[in-house]
Structures are given as structure tokens and as C-alpha cells.
Structure 1
Amino acid sequence: MLMTLFTGWRARFINRSTRAAATGIMLLLLAGCSALGNANNMAAEPEPDLSELVHAAAEQMVAGNPELTRYSPMIAATFVSIDNLSQSSTLGRISSEIMASALSRQGMQVREVKMRDSMFIEESVGELILSRQVQRLSAQHNARSILMGTYAQGQDYIYVSARVVRSSDAMVLGSADFRLPLNNNTRSLLEGQGSW
């Protein structure tokens, strides 16, 4: 009789222990899956987009000088490679286009020079403006300011510096910098290099 009671109690204890152990293991597995899910969510965050970075830089530029829009109209030059100021790329051309658009949204009047015959445009480079041409081009287009920019390729990032300069004396009215992750997309934008 005593032996039967002991055996029954032992069976219930083992069942409870097994259930408790199984529950503990399940909780650990669920916690592990949850942690992995959070890690995957963090790793899956999208990289910053060129357009988003440029628009944020334009806002920063205007915030740094709220009077910037007084220097309208503005013309935009293609952003050039810091290592060779007579060389640009698809990245330089699109960065300039997006920045001009972003500044226009901030209230800057932007004059479209591609519609006029007075400015030489080389298809593979875009509207490069060298310092000796600033006075002549701003007079031709009745521009009070010019958007200029440079970019440099690093190991992991592309660094872009943009500024709006007063056409009369080349004083910097506003500037902004940002970095873009160097990935397959940005590498393809850099491949379209051209020299002027």
C-alpha cells in the first residue's frame, strides 16, 4: 500500500516536473525567437535615400540663413568631383537637380538654364560652372545666386557638400553637407563619369 502511494506520488511529481521543464523550454524558445525577430527588424532598416538626404540638406541650408530666398533667382551647377573639378557623374548631375528642386520647395526661385541656348551644356557632364565663368553666367541668366557642390568617394560613403553662393562676390550664403552610403546603387551613379 505504501509502495503504491509512493509510486503514484512519484508519477505526479515527474509529470509536473516534466510539464514545468517543457514550459520553461518553450518560454526560452519564444524569448529567443522574439530577440531574433527584433534583431532582424533592426538590421532591415532601409539605408537613407539620396532624395531624402538632399531635401534635409536643403532645409538645413535655409534654416541656417532664412534670408537665402532673397537671393533669387538662382541657377544650379552640376556637382563635381572634389578630385577633379572638371569631372562629374550621374551622381553629380542628379544631386544638383534634386537640390535645386528642394531649394525651390523652400521658396527659392530657380532659373532653368537648360532651356536657354546661352549656356553650353555637354551631355556627359552637365552645367559645370568654373569660377571664371560665374560673373558671365549669372549676368546672362540674371541670377543673384548659384548652387554649387562637390562630392568625394570614400571607402564606405560618398561625401557631398553643397552651397549657394552670391553671384556678385562669390560669398557663401548657405551650405550643407551629408554622406551617402556607398552601395551598388551609388556606385552605379558614380560610374557615369564624364570630363569637361
Structure 2
Amino acid sequence: MKRRHAMALMGLACAGVLAGCAQYYYGPSAAAPVAQDLLALSRDAADALLAQVVLDPAQPVIVSTVVQLDRLDASSRLGRLVSEQVGGRFVQRGLRVTELRMRDSLALRPGQGELLLSRQVLEVARAQAAQAVLVGTYATAPQAVFVSLKLVGMGNAVLAAHDYVLPMDGNVRGLLAAGL
């Protein structure tokens, strides 16, 4: 009986050690990334920006396309989707968001969205009588996408800023690759 008990304990100990070794050897990098709720992350980012500044609901806010950090004249489906989702959250929170695609006064690049470089922000905000413009960049890394968003006011003053990380899962990789 004691021998059977001792053998069972040894078996459990070996199984525990092997499981520990397997986790160490295969580790988190071999596991499939957990799918992220991009919509929830975008809404959280919008809420974080709005928590930093008081905006007048009667005055418009312009949302430009989030662009690649190293190519400010280029974006992707991911950048355009983040912009759409953050702009949508602004509307849900009671702000007036001006739809740039409906304006003749702003040139748009097909497939790129509303790309605003820093020198254009003040000019576009004045032309649209906007109190703020959402601008943003993203940078890709092998396992994550780093997103930086800013609300910029008149005089190019940064009114609010928020940074966050999107783990590189299948959805994010697909949005980066498709429709460039």
C-alpha cells in the first residue's frame, strides 16, 4: 500500500515537472495570441482622450486617419478603422464630429482616408471652424502595434494624448495587410 502510494506521488511529481518543462519550453510565444476587441480598445482610447480635456459639444471636432509613424502619408485598414471607431465614440459621447469625406475643401487620397500632417492641422481646423482635430500614428512590431492618438487644438497645441498597444493577432495582421 505504501509502495503504491509512493509510486502515485512520484507519478504526479513527474507529471508536474513535465508540465512545467513543457510550459517553459513552449512558453507564451508559441501560444496563439488572444484575439483583441479592437472596438473596445478604440472606445477606451476615445474615453481616455475626453477625460483629459473639456470640449464644447456645439463646436465640431475633426477626425483624421491614423497614419503609419514612418510614413505620415500612408495608412492601412487598421488606421482607418481606429479613426472611424474613435470618431464614432466621440459622437456617442455627445460631440459634433465633422465628416471630412463630405467636404469639397479637403483633398483626399483614394484608399488612404483623411491624412493630415501637422502643418495642415491648423489650416483645416480653421477652415472647418473646428475646436480640435484627432490625429494619430501607429508603429508595427513583430508582436504588437503601438498606437498614439492626440487631440490638437488651435495653434497646434496638444490638448490630450493617449498611447496604447494592440497585440499582433490575426485580426490586426489582416487589417494591416489588406487594402494598403
User: Normalised by the size of structure 2, how large is the TM-score?
Assistant: 0.77
Letter in 2 for 1:53: L
Task: Say if 1:68 and 1:173, in contact at 8 Å, map to a contact too.
Answer: no
Structure 2 counterparts to residues 1-196 of structure 1, below 5 A: 46-65=34-53, 67-69=54-56, 72-166=59-153, 168-192=154-178, 194=180
Distance 1:81 1:45, change over 3 A: closer
Question: RMSD value over aligned CA atoms?
Answer: 3.2
SS at match of 1:104: helix
Shift of the alpha carbon at 1:193?
6.1
Contact 2:39 2:85 in 1 (8 A): yes
**After alignment, is 107-116 or 93-102 more displaced?**
107-116
Q: Are 2:35 and 2:170, in contact at CA under 8 Å, matched by a contact in 1?
A: no
Mapped to 2, the partners of 1:63 and 1:134 lie a distance apart of 22
Deviation at 1:136, TM superposition (A): 2.6
Counterpart of 2:122, as a letter, is: Q
Number of equivalent positions: 168
Deviation of the 1:106 alpha carbon: 2.2
1:74-96 C-alpha deviation (Å, 9 max, x unpaired): 11110010111111111111111
Equivalent pair of 2:35/2:171 in contact (CA under 8 Å): no
Q: Which amino acid aligns with 2:126?
A: A
Match for 1:188: what amino acid? G
Alpha-carbon separation, structure 2, partners of 1:62 and 1:134: 19
CA distance in 1, matches of 2:37, 2:94: 23
TM-score calculated relative to the size of structure 1:
0.71
Letter in 2 for 1:111: T
